[in-house]
Structure 1
Amino acid sequence: MAFEEIEIKLRLAPRDAGRFRRARLLQEYKTAKAGWAHLVSTYFDTPDLALRTRKVALRIRRMGDALEQTLKAPKGLQGGLQSRTEWNAVVENEEKPDLSSIGDPKLRKWLRKRTKENGLTAVFTTDIKRTTWQILYNGTRLEVALDEGQILAGDRSRPISEVELELVEGDATDLVAFAQLLIEKYPLVLDRDSKAARGYALFADTEVSPVKAKDPDLTTDMTVWNAFSASVQSGVLQVMSNAPVVMLRDDPEGVHQARIGVRRIRAALSLFKNALDADKVAVAREDLKWLQQALGPARDFDVFLEEAVEPLIKAMPDEACLTRLKEVSETARKNGYDMAVDALSSSRYSAVLLRLEAWLLSPEHAAADVPLAQFAKRSLDKRLKAVLKSCGKHPARLPEADLHPLRIEFKKLRYAASFFQSLYGGKKKFAYIKQLAALQDCLGGLNDALVQGELMEALPLGKAADAARAKALMTGWHAARTQQGLSGLDKEWAAFKAFKPFWR
């Protein structure tokens, strides 16, 4: 039997499980006594992990004397709200999945072909003690499950402590609303990794890695609202996918990609703002401003150390003032990561993303009558017009005060082009977007000089003479980088103007 599973996952520290089990909200809205079960699930795949590659999870679960096989295939991901198609069947053999019970003919055929070639093998097991509550909230039936246990793969193990909220019957907006109530009262953090995803990572003995943005897959028959929703969802997924990388503190790309995710959501708000409720846009902007600022110092000092301080020390190893600059910058970076980790572990972070989720589940129809292709062309024309107005014939000759706004206009056009590119055919659109990135890069040194100059003013650089020397060296470094970027700006601008806008 197949059905759609819609759920929200929330991470919970093991020490807080007892408190959650006694949650007043659960007692207030439960319709029956809490249930309890011991679940041992074995996950299967081919030796080359073909199911994992296709994001399919196949397991056999033992609960007492009963055996149930489940296959889950992705239907869609909406930020923290996860939607999958699921097939369940009673089986008799705990060690051999029954592929005949899978309802989707194409998926069943694909599985049989893959398993005929390579066979299926057990890759990992989850051993879970589950407490469940049946909830009736605002007329919607939900199931809340507290899972405590571990994932086992060979001689490796990883603890599990999480809460799952699943829609049983009713409105998904009530599912999100109840999750919002829980995170206001208890130390829960929105998560997106399934047990299967964590099991595979344990099996492969791999850590999480940074995830780059994926442009929304828009079609011309979509409404403007649906295009906005897809654009925001792509940003939310990028933030949530990179949050675990930030927690590890050892890969600068994690916080970089998380911030790009936030910027993409903010760019979507700006791009679609005239078709949206102004009050909701204002709330979302304030939420995202907080998150961007929380992630900012970690990223700023990553860039400062990697692209300025360390190259300067390599060029001038005898400058003691630079050694001091590196020491205090590393301390500031650690503090920045503390701030980022605290933010991503907070209830406010989860509340920000769930507020976006709740908004996306309540479509606004004001702009639905405007064809998406028309809206996209109008928006791209507007962004391009702003770029042309800001640039003039020779952008490299503009005063510095005008170059900062120009970089922002390049970025706005690039994001708009990325969001809408799936509406248009051909490959020239990718070259167009790549050229916009090159124009942004030309002005990157200018922006770094501005940001890093502010960073240095706040650092304890020691004696006045040492501080002055370090600032002078850094000023010279940035001047050289800025000039290098500006020297190619007119050339890159000429190359860009040679492109015909791909939406015309």
Structure 2
Amino acid sequence: MEIELKLALQPRHRAQFRRHPLLNKITPVQHSLLSIYFDTAKFDLMRRGIALRLRRVNNRWVQTLKAETQSVGALTNRPEWEVTVTDGKHPDFSALPPVALDLLAGIKLKRIMPVFTTEFQRTTWQIESEQTQAEVALDSGKIHTDDASSNICEVEIELKSGNPEFLFDVAIQLLEHVPLRVEPRSKAERGYILSGAATLVPVKAIQPMIEKNQSVGDVWNAILQAALMQLSANLPGFLENAHDTEYLHQLRVALRRLHTGARLAKSLGRPIPDWDQPLRQLMQALNPARDWDVFQQEILPEILAILESPAVNSGIDDAVLVLLQDTTAIVRQQSLAVLHKPAFTRLVLDIGRDLLSAAPAEARQQEVQTWAKAILDKRWEKLCKSCHGFAKLNASKRHKARIAAKKLRYIADAFAPIYGKRAHHFIAALSSLQNELGYTNDRVIGQQLLHQLSRKTASLGFGLGRLSGILESSAALRAHVPADIWQRLARSKLFWR
């Protein structure tokens, strides 16, 4: 079993990394490594989450088969089988144990061929503390396919023996002197993307792997792990394809789910984690980019359609459109800068380390459904209170109702595996309410964004004011919809009772 932390490093910081106080008194070892990755023409191994490689280490070849990766934040945990073989021409399947061969069942092994290579210089340092040993590796080189290449510059901290928390301790010490970034992808995953066999796609909320017979502490841990997995899965896509706004949306969903999970700590007899405060600060820092993305992609097209309709037949000044586009691009770059900062890496490391801590004894003794019912009841009561007299609620109170609906939705989603299909109808109705309230709130925020711009750009104030007026009128036409949805939801059967 391989347990490691993987972090990305800018090439210009390699010398600074080597001089780190944690490493500069340890004699490093250097190796030139060539790895050949194998698969079928249809990439059957990749589809099963398997990586098969032959690696030349000095004058010998080492064959490694790795099973499907479980990446939580920067921490990777995966089974692997490693054996020395005679050459690097073709894998030796006879050297694999039966449990590894079982993973390849049904795949025609004769069709396995080279698909890409990695070639890099590895510098390693051995670090020990009490009963724990870890290896810090700095890898610098390239991934090659037949017609493309990509740089490798990353740090791997692999557990050799002892407590996995030590990996986080080492990473945090390294981060204090060198800017490092979370990199959840293996070299194999990056190679498959480079070869065109895989593509980055936004990842929606991941269902926690929980069951009725688990302890409350394990369920809480699984809820946070699922949210952290969603966060790490969307991070590379946003950093490399920021123009695809769905990545940022899913990143923010993951952050909100982490925050919701953090607040559950009190019900387990433990304090809210220290990382919840920087988490909330990060959420606030990313809000403007998402607000402008929604405006550009959803709200502005609606406004333009109204202006171009026969009833209005009016255009909008090109200077206004350019201003809106430029503002959106600026705040998106600001959000990218936030995620490149060491503070974000530290946040992910702190969450990951916290997830390795055992839950208190009283949490392990609680019954899961009793715990879930108490939490769901509390969230439901808050939503009912927020929605009382719904038809007469102003924008501010509807916003509070939206937040209450969102918090209940995240908790309901997390506990849904315990209750099975009976949770689906309620969650679907709750999602409808959340979406409609979100529609209204997005347009309120849209008016605020336009007002802020008009104060900064007086010459375009009239054009921006027209957009704001249309936005207010269109939102008013759907003001009754959330009230109708709430009435249906209020009559729904509560799946946890």
Name the TM-score, length of structure 2 as normaliser. 0.92
Q: 1:186 to 1:466 in 2, by over 3 A?
A: closer
Change (3 A) 1:482 1:414: farther
SS in structure 1 at match of 2:363:
coil
Cα distance in 1 between the residues matched to 2:456 and 2:158: 56
1:53 is aligned to 2:70: no
1:419 and 2:414 matched: yes
User: Hey, what does 1:287 align to over in structure 2?
Assistant: 278
Structure-1 residue corresponding to 2:367: 371
Equivalent-residue separation in structure 1 for 2:398 and 2:454 (angstroms): 30
Alignment of 1:429-444 (within 5 A): 429-444=423-438
- Cα distance, 1:466 vs structure 2: 4.2
Q: Runs of 5+ in structure 1 lacking a partner?
A: none
2:10/2:153 contact within 8 Å kept? yes
Q: Does 1:91 align with 2:88?
A: no
Structure 2 partner of 1:123: 115
Change (3 A) 1:273 1:332: farther
Distance 1:142 1:112 in 2: 34
**Are the structure 2 counterparts of residues 380 and 94 from structure 1 closer, same or farther at C-alpha, using a change threshold of 3 Å?**
same
Deviation at residue 469 of structure 1 after TM alignment: 4.8
| Equivalence for 1:496 | 489
Distance 1:274 1:113 in 2: 47
Is the aligned partner of 1:17 residue 2:14?
yes
Separation in structure 2 between the aligned mates of residue 371 and residue 294 of structure 1, nearest angstrom: 38
Aligned residues of 1:232 and 1:265 also touching (Cα < 8 A): yes
1:27 corresponds to which of 11, 24, 29? 24
Deviation, 1:301, is 0.7
Identify which range, 151-160 or 450-459, moves more after superposition. Answer: 450-459
Of the candidates 294, 302, 305, which is equivalent to residue 303 of structure 1?
294
Give the aligned residue type for 2:374: R
Q: Does 1:265 align with 2:258?
A: yes
The residue type equivalent to 1:372 in the other structure is: V
- CA shift, 1:63, in A, is 1.5
1:239-388 aligned at under 5 Å gives the runs 239-247=231-239, 248-278=241-271, 280-281=272-273, 283-316=274-307, 323-365=318-360, 366-388=362-384
Aligned to 1:6: 3
Distance in 2 of aligned mates of 1:463 and 1:198: 44
Distance 1:323 1:277 in 2: 55
Cα 1:185–1:276 shift into 2, 3 Å: farther
Give the corresponding residue for 1:103.
Answer: 97
Partners of 2:218 and 2:111 in 1: CA distance: 41
Q: Deviations over 1:37-95 (max 9, x none)?
A: 11111111122212111211111111122111101113633322111111011112423
Separation (CA, whole Å) in 2 of partners of 1:491 and 1:322: 38
1:297 alignment partner AA: P
Q: Unaligned 5+ residue runs, structure 2?
A: none
Secondary structure of the structure 2 residue equivalent to 1:219: coil
Over 3 Å counting, the alpha-carbon distance change for 1:468 and 1:218 in structure 2 is same
Paired residues of 1:6 and 1:81 also in contact (CA < 8 A): yes
Aligned equivalents of 1:315, 1:342: Cα separation in 2: 36
2:67 partner SS? strand
| Aligned partner (choices 399, 403, 411) of residue 398 of structure 2 | 403
Q: State which drifts further: 462-471 or 375-384.
A: 462-471
More displaced 10-residue stretch of structure 1: 344-353 or 93-102 = 93-102
Describe the shift of the 1:487–1:177 C-alpha distance in structure 2 as closer, same or farther (beyond 3 A). Answer: same
User: Is 491-500 or 261-270 further displaced after alignment?
Assistant: 491-500
Contact 2:252 2:283 in 1 (8 A): yes
**In the alignment, residue 27 of structure 1 is paired with which amino acid?**
N
SS in 1 for 2:207: coil
Kept in 1, the 8 Å contact 2:65–2:81? The answer is yes
Q: Is 1:78 the equivalent of 2:69?
A: no
Q: Is the 8 A contact 1:229 1:360 kept in 2?
A: yes
Deviation of residue 178 (structure 1)? 0.8
The 8 Å contact of residues 72 and 232 in structure 2, kept in 1 or not, is answered as no
The answer to whether the 8 A contact 1:124-1:152 is kept is yes
Deviation at 1:481, TM superposition (A): 2.5
Q: Check whether the contact 1:296–1:336 (CA below 8 A) recurs between aligned residues.
A: no
Structure 2: distance between partners of 1:104 and 1:388: 57
Question: For residues 205-253 of structure 1, what are the alpha-carbon distances to aligned partners after superposition, in whole Å with 9 as ceiling and x for unaligned?
Answer: 7652211111211112222222222211222222222222222222011
**How many pairs are equivalent?**
491
CA contact (8 A) 2:299 2:443 kept: no
Letter in 1 for 2:407: K
> Secondary structure in 2 aligned to 1:87?
strand
TM-fit CA distance, 1:7: 0.5
| Secondary structure of the structure 1 residue equivalent to 2:65 | strand
1:319 Cα deviation (Å)? Answer: 5.8
Tell me the TM-score normalized by structure 1: 0.91
Kindly provide the CA deviation profile for residues 303-348 of structure 1, in whole angstroms up to 9, marking residues without a partner as x: 1112222332343268676533322222222221221111111111
Decide whether aligned partners of structure 1 residues 103 and 424 sit closer, same or farther in structure 2, where only a CA change above 3 A counts: farther
Q: Percent identity?
A: 33
Task: Give the drift of 1:455.
Answer: 1.8
Give the ranges of 4+ consecutive aligned residues of structure 1 lying more than 4 Å apart after TM superposition.
Answer: 317-322, 460-466
CA distance in structure 2 between the aligned counterparts of 1:58 and 1:482, rounded to whole angstroms? 58
CA distance in 2, matches of 1:165, 1:463: 50
2:422 and 2:96 map into 1 onto residues whose CA distance is 42
What is the CA distance between 1:261 and its match in structure 2?
0.9
CA distance in 2, matches of 1:93, 1:298: 52
Q: Which amino acid aligns with 1:351?
A: R
Partner of 1:390: 386
Letter paired with 1:304: F
| Contact 1:8 1:166 (8 Å CA) reproduced | yes
Note the C-alpha offset of 1:203. 0.8
| 1:482–1:416 distance in 2 versus 1, CA, 3 Å | farther
Residues 43 and 57 in structure 1, CA contact (< 8 A), matched pair in contact too: yes
Distance 1:501 1:103 in 2: 50
Q: Mean alpha-carbon deviation: is it higher for 92-101 or for 223-232?
A: 92-101
Answer whether contact 1:137 1:178 (CA < 8 A) is retained: no
C-alpha separation between the residues in 2 aligned to 1:260 and 1:269? 14
Q: CA deviation at 1:134?
A: 0.7
**Greater displacement, 77-86 / 322-331:** 322-331
Q: Give the superposition deviation at 1:255.
A: 0.8
